[in-house]
Amino acid sequence: MTRPEASDALMGASIMMVDDESTTTEVLQMFLEGEGYSNFTSVSDARRALSLLRSNPPDVLLLDLMMPHIGGLEILTEIRGDEDLQHIPVIILTASTDGDTKLKALELGATDFLAKPVDPSELALRLRNTLAAKAYRDWLIFRDALTGLPNRRLFNDRLKRALERAAADDNACALVHINIDRFKRINETLGQAAADALLQAVASRLEKCVRATDLASNPELRPYDCPLSRVGGDEFSLLVPDVSPEGAASVGRRIVQALGDPFTVDGHELFLTCSTGISLFPEDGVDAAALLRNADVALSQAKRAGGNQCQFFSKSLGSAFLERLSLENGLQQAIERDELVLYYQPKIDIASDRIVGAEALMRWQHPTLGIILPTKFIPIAEETDLIESLGDWALLVACRQCKEWSDAGFETVRMSVNVSSKQFQTGALPRKVGAAISESGIDPTHLVLELTESMIMLDFDRTSEMLHRIKEMGVRISIDDFGTGYSSLATLSQFPLDELKIDCSFVSQVTTDAQGAAIVTATIGMAHALGLTVVAEGVETEAQLEFLRQRGCEEFQGFLRSRPVPALEWASLLLSRTS
């Protein structure tokens, strides 16, 4: 992955000569062939020059200035104004000694000058230097500085040309996107230098994997026919020409397996996994944009499925991706457009059957799709880092609503608000809770924050400090979905908790599964021993409620009494429960 030398560029360089004197081009070609060049295009009619340049751009252009019909300066002007041609080096051949003409050519972007009659030795030197400079410039423009692989710009260009060849030859090909799973966490843990070294090792192994499989299976393929490129931080792309779906799947699996072997960086043994997404030409798209988009969709699906696997694009995936993209774009403006609302599910005291609390649950009132449940948009918010903004909004709105109900004379209830891991990890949660209490005027003892087990177990000391600060405000703290994480009540007892919520997956089993019933019974007993109030989630039958009542569970939520309701229906719900 080192920078190519000028001799590499020289051997295969394509040279176009535009001169109305065919004898001149014949003499130049004869001499340059003796120097090792072999790829020539000669044009004696300048009117054909631009169309030939656009159809087959050369590595260097030798251009006469004084020609009939169209002069060299006009051709040079067109070249420098064309995005696809503007970087071609142009060596001017001229018999003119006029200084103004040379100055004009330089202003238009001429690379070098040679006076006619051309001195062969001087031409060889100028051409070699020009090609060496071009090779270095191309390296900077088209290569990834860290790995030496082609970058996104070069890959897209090669992909476009490869698809044109495949369409002309009626061949199939596959586009493979490769992404390192959880690389961000690796980067944060190892530091930038070690992460860069790891990426270099990954690139090297991928190159060997490609050479050892795909090129070896088809000796007619050249390395650049099967390009591996680094197209992003930890993202790589591979084009495999003339391949069946089965062959593409084999390539994807081999890549996943190859990166599964341990890496050694700075004396540390590291284990990686990767995900790959594959789109096929022409089934999944007939142009580069469609294939790139669909390979990315397949990669995203592989990631969401847990990573360390290969996923093909399908039309159903594409539809799901477009729906997700639409939701993602809409979610960006949902707060500003006032499309988010809170629904409230009652917490009911089992002994008195009275409403004693409300859990705030977010809904999205989409302008065209109607009510969207959080199971559909919260995962998107978490992946796009919008979850913190949504969580902050929900905290403030819920506190205001609780205060509004209290001021209106309704029976006071405790307002429970879910906290996301992103809100918790920033360390700003105590400050934001304090701000919401101050701005809304809510009594802090009426606010309950619900956190999950896994969230508070990430950093014991930091978590304990934050929870104590929140507890000192008078806010109650609840552990949500207990039993789905990896903590124990003994561990949780070291935090300033008030409430424990048993997950609905356990509650649903209490009357049908002896083991499930034993787990809930034991959990209630241990929670009471620690002085915690127990809330059962997802209660749907009277039999489940009676089981919980007999075990001393204090509160419950579930469809048995009420689904979540909007704020406007809360008053009638309270009246129905107290009448």
Please write the tens of the pLDDT for every residue from 144-181.
889 989 899 888 888 888 888 888 888 888 999 999 99
Q: What is the pLDDT of residue 317?
A: 63
Domain presence at residue 326: no
| Distance from C-alpha of 390 to C-alpha of 378, rounded to nearest angstrom | 9
Cβ partners under 8 Å of residue 64, min gap 6: 18, 19, 20, 21, 24, 72, 92, 93, 94
Distance CA 347, CA 354 (A): 8
Which amino acid is present at 246?
E
Give per-residue pLDDT as tens, 422-464. Answer: 888 888 899 999 999 999 999 999 999 999 887 877 777 888 8
* Structure-model confidence comparison of residues 431 and 324, the more confident one: 431
Same domain flag for 125 and 216: no
Question: Rounded to an integer, what distance in angstroms lies between the CA atom of residue 443 and that of residue 436?
Answer: 11
Examine the domain organization and report whether 468 and 374 are in the same domain: yes
> Exposed/middle/buried for 357, CB within 10 Å: 0-12, 13-18, 19+?
buried
Give the pLDDT confidence score for residue 211 in this predicted structure. 61
pLDDT at 221 over 50: no
Give the pLDDT band of residue 360 (cuts 50, 70, 90).
very high
| pLDDT at residue 130 tops 80 | yes
CATH code, 31: 3.40.50.2300
Per the domain annotation, does 466 fall within a domain?
yes
Contact 176, 274 (CB under 8 A): no
Q: Are residues 398 and 267 in the same domain?
A: no
Q: Are residues 135 and 177 in the same domain?
A: no
pLDDT digits (tens, 9 = 90+) for 19-66: 988 888 899 889 988 888 888 999 999 889 888 998 888 989 999 988
Q: Is residue 292 part of a domain?
A: yes
Looking at every residue in the chain, the average pLDDT score rounds to: 86
Quote the pLDDT of residue 11.
60
Q: Residue 329: inside a domain, yes or no?
A: no
Which residue(s) pair with 303 in the sheet? none
pLDDT of residue 194: 87
d(CA 334, CA 133): 52
Return d(Cα 520, Cα 513) in angstroms, integer.
Answer: 11
**DSSP string computed for 521-573:** HHHHHHHHHTT-EEEE----SHHHHHHHHHTT--EE-STTT---EEGGGHHHH
Q: Are residues 117 and 47 in the same domain?
A: yes
Tokens at residue 162, please? 């490869």
Pick the last residue of a domain from 114, 142, 170: 142
Do 193 and 233 lie in one domain? The reply is yes
CATH number of the domain encompassing residue 425: 3.20.20.450
* Distance of alpha carbon 517 from alpha carbon 524, whole angstroms: 11
Mean pLDDT lowest for which of 90-104, 114-128, 210-224? Answer: 210-224
Alpha-carbon distance of 238 to 207, in angstroms, equals 10
Query: Residue 70 falls within a domain, yes or no?
Result: yes
Q: Are residues 301 and 395 in the same domain?
A: no
Same-domain pairing of 525 and 427 = yes
Residue 30 lies in a domain: yes
For residue 395, is pLDDT > 90?
yes
Residue 123 lies in a domain: yes
- Same domain flag for 113 and 223: no
The pLDDT of residue 578 is 56
In the prediction, which pLDDT does 100 show? Answer: 79
- Residue 172: left (phi > 0), alpha (psi -120 to 50), or beta? beta
State the pLDDT confidence band at 321, using cuts at 50, 70 and 90.
low
- Average pLDDT of the segment spanning 299-303: 87
- The pair of structure tokens assigned to 433 is 């809770």
In angstroms, the CA 475 to CA 180 distance is 41
Domain that holds residue 182: 152-313
Residue 323 placed within a domain: no
Does the pLDDT value for residue 315 go beyond 80?
no
Question: What was the pLDDT predicted at 311?
Answer: 87
Contact 239, 165 (CB under 8 A): no
Query: Per residue in 171-220, pLDDT tens?
Result: 888 999 999 998 887 887 778 888 899 999 999 999 888 765 554 444 44
Percent of the chain at pLDDT > 90 equals 37
What pLDDT, in 10s, does the model give residues 271-291? 889 999 999 999 888 999 999
Mean local confidence (pLDDT), 465-489? 84
| Sign (positive or negative) of CA dihedral 427, 428, 431, 437 | negative
User: The whole model's pTM is what?
Assistant: 0.58
User: Which range, of 89-98, 403-412, 536-545, averages the lowest pLDDT?
Assistant: 89-98
Q: What is the arithmetic mean of pLDDT over 466-492?
A: 82
Q: Within this chain, do residues 115 and 15 fall inside the same structural domain, yes or no?
A: yes
CATH code assigned at 292: 3.30.70.270
How far is the CA of 133 from the CAs of 126, 138, 209, 250, 525, in angstroms?
11, 9, 32, 40, 78
Q: How far is CA 342 from CA 359, 539, 552, 567, 572, in A?
A: 9, 21, 31, 7, 17
| pLDDT > 70 fraction of the chain, expressed in percent and rounded | 92
User: Residue 494 has which token pair?
Assistant: 């070291």
- 90-94/60-64 β-pairing: parallel
Are 341 and 489 found together in one domain? yes
Domain end (from 142, 170, 201): 142
Q: Where does the pLDDT of residue 117 fall: very low under 50, low under 70, confident under 90, or very high at 90 and above?
A: confident
122 & 238 share domain = no
Q: Looking at residue 46, what is its pLDDT?
A: 87
Say how many domains are in the chain: 3
Q: Which of 106-120, 479-493, 565-579 has the highest mean pLDDT?
A: 106-120
CB-based contacts of 308: which residues, under 8 Å, 6+ apart? Answer: 181, 256, 260, 273, 274, 275
Which of 321, 288, 284, 285 has the alpha carbon at shortest distance from 302? 321
Q: Is residue 494 packed enough to be buried (19+ CB in 10 Å), middle (13-18) or exposed (0-12)?
A: exposed
Q: Report pLDDT for 60.
A: 92
**Domain boundary residue, one of 252, 281, 313:** 313
pLDDT at 405: 92
